[in-house]
Amino acid sequence: MHVLITGAAGMLGRKIVAQIAAGGIGGQAVTRLGLADVVPAPVPAGFAGTVDALTGNLADAGVAAAWLAGKPDVILHLAAVVSAEAESDFDKGYAVNLDGTRALFDGIRALGYHPRVVMASSIAVFGAPFPEKIGDEFFNAPLTSYGTQKAMADLLLSDYTRKGIFDGVALRLPTLIVRPGKPNKAASGFFSSILREPLVGQEALLPVGDDVRHWFASPRRAAGFFAHAAAMDTARIGPRRALNMPGLSATIGEMIEALRRVAGSDAVACIRRVDDPVTEGIVAGWARDFDPVRARALGFVADASLDEIIRIHIEDDLGGSL
């Protein structure tokens, strides 16, 4: 099987590449990997198949065609300008997240073949106020340009699928925790930070209260969603191709107690509470819980617990032990 991954150098892209290079997709081995991103993506260790190193900006003319030239059977489209940058650079966000996605879709159309396309979407397509649990038929009223672009791309993917141009699925991912690496400036960064830093004895800042609730998945689980969507029977989905992925709804207080169970009270002591009304205000507008009935019926399964999410981070990113 020949798989193209756009955004292959990103955190989730690398997890997916590692997972499918080792485990294949739907029982089939991956024999050729197109690793596409603005910077060179790491080649997975021990992968015996062909690797196409593809660099470029999807928003630039000719890039989509070059990435698609080998007619990959499966395209996992993750390349995107992230939320904060799409908000600060209006043109760049639309150029990459909307026009780049459309260029990819039109590139497939120009080749006249019918691949599976699995696209990363986001719960940012939803904007407050919303119900306590967001259902599969709740509307998209994003409050960011990133969320707008993802909602538009979701619509585009369903229409291109309906017209028979490709066989698409958009996965609206929960917030991923625990993200490996350094703290970043994303407003959501503390959700990973308050678990990641304490696990290695470092201080983490917590800008919100214990009762703040949000919607989470582990990076390993999210990578698995892409492998599942790449192999699933799409006839069961119908025309509504954007799916709210299952996640775990949890409060900050629950995250802290999970950290205590997995890593002890010394770890919890590394969390320092700070006053940050700006972040508090932003987070107040985020989704707290979902009822992803359709995705569950299609075989997507959430992480079992926060404890599991923390252990996945230890296994996948910290070498297996503290």
> What sign for the dihedral angle of Cα 59, 40, 10, 170?
positive
Using rule CB under 8 A, residue 83 touches a second copy = no
In the set 23, 29, 50, 139, which binds a second copy (CB under 8 A)?
139
In the set 103, 104, 108, 151, which binds a second copy (CB under 8 A)?
151
In the set 121, 158, 249, 279, which binds a second copy (CB under 8 A)?
158
Q: Which positions from 20 through 79 interact with a second copy, judged by CB under 8 A?
A: none
Q: Which CB, 126 or 191, lies closer to a second copy?
A: 126
Using rule CB under 8 A, residue 232 touches a second copy = no
* CA atoms of 147 and 173, how far apart (whole Å): 12
Quote the distance between the C-alpha of residue 35 and its chain's center. Answer: 17
Q: How far is the CB of 296 from a second copy (least distance, A)?
A: 18
User: What length does the chain have?
Assistant: 322
Q: Which CB, 20 or 152, lies closer to a second copy?
A: 152
Q: Does 146 qualify as catalytic in the annotation?
A: yes
In the set 46, 112, 239, 320, which binds a second copy (CB under 8 A)?
239
Indicate the Cα dihedral angle 88, 90, 92, 94, nearest 10°: 140
Place of tokens 């043109």: 91
143 close to 285: Cβ distance less than 8 angstroms:
yes
Q: What is the DSSP string of 97-135?
A: IIIIHHHHHHHHHHHT---EEEEEEEGGG--SS--SSB-
In the set 11, 51, 141, 186, which binds a second copy (CB under 8 A)?
141
Q: How far is the CB of 280 from a second copy (least distance, A)?
A: 19
Using rule CB under 8 A, residue 287 touches a second copy = no
In the set 68, 76, 108, 152, which binds a second copy (CB under 8 A)?
152
What is the chain's Cα-based Rg?
19
Contact range with a second copy by CB under 8 A, out of 71-79, 144-152, 226-234, 300-308: 144-152
Residues 6+ apart with CB under 8 A from 47: 21, 33
Q: Which residues of 31-45 are buried (b: 16+ CB within 10 A; e: fewer)?
A: eebbbbbbeebeebe
Q: Which positions from 111 through 130 interact with a second copy, judged by CB under 8 A?
A: 127
Using rule CB under 8 A, residue 164 touches a second copy = no
Structure tokens at 53: 């190193």
Q: Which CB, 163 or 185, lies closer to a second copy?
A: 163
Using rule CB under 8 A, residue 187 touches a second copy = no
Structure tokens at 276: 């940050």
Q: Which amino acid is at 188?
A: S
User: Do you find a cis peptide bond into 63, omega within 30 degrees of 0?
Assistant: no
In the set 29, 40, 57, 90, which binds a second copy (CB under 8 A)?
90
Q: How far is the CB of 282 from a second copy (least distance, A)?
A: 14
Q: How far is the CB of 217 from a second copy (least distance, A)?
A: 22
Using rule CB under 8 A, residue 270 touches a second copy = no
Contact range with a second copy by CB under 8 A, out of 75-83, 145-153, 249-257, 300-308: 145-153
* CA atoms of 99 and 236, how far apart (whole Å): 29
In the set 52, 89, 159, 254, which binds a second copy (CB under 8 A)?
159
- Sheet holding 213-217: strands in order across? 175-176, 213-217, 248-251
| Residues noted as catalytic | 146
Which positions touch a second copy (CB under 8 A)?
90, 127, 136-143, 145, 148, 151-152, 155-156, 158-159, 162-163, 239-240
